[in-house]
Structure 1
Amino acid sequence: MKSKFKLNLQMHAMKKSQEMYNKLKDLRNIMSSLQTEGKIEEAHAMINEVRDLEKAIAVQEELENLETDKFEGTPIPTAVKANEVVAFNKAVLGKPLSEPENALVERVGEDGGYLVPEEQRTEIEEYKRQLIPLKDFCNVIPVGTLSGKMPLEVESNDKLINFGEMTEINQSTIKFGQLAWGLGDYGDIIPISNTLLQDEKANLISFVKRRFGKKAVRTENEKILEVLNTATKVNGEDYTAIITALNTKLDPAIALSAIIITNQTGYNYLDQLVDENGRTLLKDSLEVSGSKIFKGKTVVVLSDEEMKTTATKDATFFVGDLEESVAFFDRQVYDMAISTEAGFTKYATMMRVVERFDVKAMDKKAVVRVDLKFPVIP
């Protein structure tokens, strides 16, 4: 009777942990649904509940392990804590999942793709930040739907309304427009060694992040540059045109937080400028190691290949505040799947990695494009 009683206790404990895993899966599904419906605040409010439940599951599993140690005779195997990386790898490769593992993965649509786990998503983001992502300077807006609209202030120099002096608020007083977005799918097909795929514990992201990360940053930068190229254009003869743009073409509040974006050609020009005392005008940044500043503004340098010079070989400089000028609508997830389109080879399997985003112009007066005739260094 004693052994049977302990056996029932252990089975009950195991059942409780499984119930907790089921609840965790339900919470994740609810969060995903809320995000898809655009209810970002409600989804965000559930984060602590999910994390608390994950901690509670860890405690419960430890209690089950301790309970097993008390048993006489052959112990009953306890529920094994699912590894998120292993669960993700098995899901992507189409391998069967245990119930705890199933609670840790989230499928995307009907094409067999799965969301990259948060830890691995962060790994990709951290790698991208080591490159030169213009996205970091934009107004990044997380979205949970593939398309939508957001209100956009038409004029930012209005003053507050004195409600006490008004009997009625005219519709013309409220100057808002609509900014529509539609996320695009941007991805890459990456060959992965079949030998690597046999290791369920291998971190697939560590093998795809470099190729995908570089292409992702180049693609994001290209879309951001397309928006910047619609800015008001100013032609100049030398670097003083950049100073004039900062002083007179931008609102003073915008100029305070402005940066300068150029390519290798433009940077080479700035780097060789000196004052009457022979001191360089391009200075080292005291805030960011390895960065340069011009007239107190951070200089962001892209390659000539990424930011091409004009047909007339002008040196181009974008001067302004991208956070006010460019909206980057970000789904903030990556999904990965075996590529059925590319098929298989004997030694490699094709992996598809996808991100979704859109880029739109906001305040078109927040950035000025300055083109200098191909500069001759004095």
Structure 2
Amino acid sequence: MKRKIINLRQQLKNVLDQAQAALEAGNSAEFDTQMAEADRLNSEIDNYERLLAARGDFDENNAHMINLHDVQQEQRQDNMRRSRIDNLRNEREYVTAWTEAICTGISTRRAVSMESMAPLVNVLTISGGDPTGSDGGFLAPIDFDNMLHEDEKEYFDLSTLFAAERVTAMSGWRAVATSGAKALPKIGEASEIGTDSQPAFRKIEYSVNKYGDRLPVSQELLNAEPGVLMAYISRWFAVRHVMTKNDLLKSLMNSLVAKDLSAGAELSGLKTALNKDLNTAHSRGASVLTNQSGYNALDQLTDDKGRPLLVPNPADPDTYRIKGKSIYYMDDDLLPNDTGKAPIYIGKFSAFGTLFERSGIEIASTDVGGDAWVNAAPEIRALCYLDAKKVDEKAVVKKTYVVAE
């Protein structure tokens, strides 16, 4: 199998050489064909390496395979925990216990000694929570997650562009390659095959933080059917959940240094960003993100034949494309202009950063804490756990477009 990987890498080198020759000759069709083959070979190499890592079949000094093996082990354990948790949260007994706990204000501390709350306590224990001292709540049923995902579709969610990973641990790490692909070294007859071309890695560490809010509710609502209660909480929480994720991801984007698009040459500036500012891997998977002002400005641009620059995506008429890349836009108040300049982000956002979210929304209620005592009305508190980390800063570039205020 190791010999197979060596052969595949040699094929990859040959394909990339042909792609470079096609690019230099201006043969874009041949370039695209060779790069598609390169993507296929890279995928096959990755699959073989994952298999070797899973088997533990690699040299003890091979940092690449060691890191891959460690990440696989952590993700496998994480997936097993999440599967167990989700299965329990999907059971009727869990929904019944959760509804009782929310409607009667049972805390995680009290639930430990109550037989009827065993499904909730079991899930908290598996997920790494501490029911005897937690200040959180109970993980919501799967039905609530489904409702939340539907309600969130009404808002623009940046995490749909970025990489998003569900985790069960409060902290962890992922290994990311820091060096590009290198040509294979020449090997003499009967000579030892070295490991000098192994890529270097760095750790991307995450540590999720707690975010949440409180919602006063009527006793009548608490006494309603479980589905009605979950739908009410979901509608209230959805927009806050999306806004929180967006703020974390925008904080990653804020570190990018913007370059103005030259007046009268905006179209060529956008083309240059895709053709030269991004490497080919990021350019091929790129999309464009701006705000209302930037979208309106781009919508006014035409080519040299007077045709609109933005064209509908045949597969999704509600999404427009620019130079074949999907364009998305947010409200100006969510992605504001900077002194009369609209931001335009171009690149592969899934390579730029990752949103880490601890599985499950925690919900609890009380009729004595917070403002419940003053208002004589129960309160529901919803919590989520999030973190966002930059992975490859070169995967996205930022441009600005002067717009009319």
Q: TM-score range by the shorter chain?
A: 0.7 to 0.9
Instruction: Flag the 1:336–1:325 CA change in 2: closer, same or farther, 3 A.
Output: same
Who is 1:338 aligned against?
365
Who is 1:213 aligned against?
238
Who is 2:167 aligned against?
143
Deviations 1:314-346 (A, max 9, x none): 121000001111111121210001253343455
User: Is 2:275 the counterpart of 1:251?
Assistant: no
Residues 85-124 of structure 1 mapped to structure 2, 5 A cutoff: 85-92=95-102, 93-94=104-105, 102-103=118-119, 106-107=123-124, 108-109=129-130, 110-111=134-135, 113-124=137-148
Who is 2:380 aligned against?
351
Instruction: Flag the 1:126–1:295 CA change in 2: closer, same or farther, 3 A.
Output: same
> Matched residue pairs, number?
312
Instruction: State the TM-score, normalized to the length of structure 1.
Output: 0.73
| Alpha-carbon distance in structure 2 between the residues aligned to 1:244 and 1:210 | 42
Instruction: Flag the 1:348–1:166 CA change in 2: closer, same or farther, 3 A.
Output: farther
Instruction: Flag the 1:259–1:183 CA change in 2: closer, same or farther, 3 A.
Output: same
In structure 2, stretches of 5+ residues that fail to align are: 1-72
The structural deviation recorded for 1:161 is 7.2
Instruction: Flag the 1:369–1:165 CA change in 2: closer, same or farther, 3 A.
Output: farther
* Structure with the larger helix share: 2
The structural deviation recorded for 1:185 is 0.7
User: Is 2:313 the counterpart of 1:278?
Assistant: no
Tell me how large the CA RMSD over aligned residues is. 3.2
Contact 1:273 1:281 in 2 (8 A): yes
Instruction: Flag the 1:374–1:52 CA change in 2: closer, same or farther, 3 A.
Output: closer
Percent identity over the alignment? Answer: 25
Please, which moves more after superposition, 116-125 or 294-303?
A: 116-125
| Alpha-carbon distance in structure 2 between the residues aligned to 1:121 and 1:207 | 13
Instruction: Flag the 1:50–1:320 CA change in 2: closer, same or farther, 3 A.
Output: closer
User: Is 2:209 the counterpart of 1:184?
Assistant: yes
Instruction: Flag the 1:256–1:40 CA change in 2: closer, same or farther, 3 A.
Output: closer
Instruction: Flag the 1:327–1:49 CA change in 2: closer, same or farther, 3 A.
Output: closer
- Which structure's CA Rg is the greater one? 1
Deviations 1:190-229 (A, max 9, x none): 1222211123535322102222111111121111111112
| Alpha-carbon distance in structure 2 between the residues aligned to 1:48 and 1:216 | 23
Who is 1:27 aligned against?
none
Determine helix, strand or coil for the equivalent of 2:359. strand
Look up the equivalent residue of 1:193 and give its one-letter code.
S
Residues 155-304 of structure 1 mapped to structure 2, 5 A cutoff: 155-159=179-183, 168-169=194-195, 173-199=198-224, 201-237=226-262, 238-304=266-332
Residues 295-314 of structure 1 mapped to structure 2, 5 A cutoff: 295-310=323-338, 312-314=339-341
The structural deviation recorded for 1:49 is 8.2
Look up the equivalent residue of 1:356 and give its one-letter code.
Y
Instruction: Flag the 1:153–1:40 CA change in 2: closer, same or farther, 3 A.
Output: closer
Deviations 1:39-89 (A, max 9, x none): 54246447888999999xxxxxxxxxxxxxxxxxxxxxxxxx955433211
The structural deviation recorded for 1:294 is 1.1
Look up the equivalent residue of 1:128 and give its one-letter code.
E
Deviations 1:12-34 (A, max 9, x none): xxxxxxxxxxxxxxxxxxxxxxx
